[in-house]
Amino acid sequence: MEEDIFVKNLQDQSKKLQECQASHTLHSCMPCALFFECEVRKAYVKAVYESMNKGQEGNFDFN
């Protein structure tokens, strides 16, 4: 099922983001000096977007 790909990617990116935050002793990305340039954060945001629209450009499934 294609939807599982999006959920799995989101879970993977979420784990990477949490590991990054823990390695910097942070509970959020906001105080990090690399907030706007961070590739880990960008990959997580992209995964969130893709999990919401399930591969459909611009459409979201909030159910």
> What global pTM score does this model have?
0.80
pLDDT score, position 27: 95
- pLDDT tens sequence for the chain (63 residues): 555 899 999 999 999 999 999 999 999 999 999 999 999 999 999 999 888 887 676 655 555
Task: Judge contact between 45 and 21, C-beta under 8 A.
Answer: no
Q: Which residue has the tokens 């629209």?
A: 53
pLDDT score, position 58: 61
pLDDT score, position 51: 86
Task: Judge contact between 29 and 41, C-beta under 8 A.
Answer: yes
Domain boundaries, the chain: 2-53
pLDDT score, position 42: 95
pLDDT score, position 18: 98
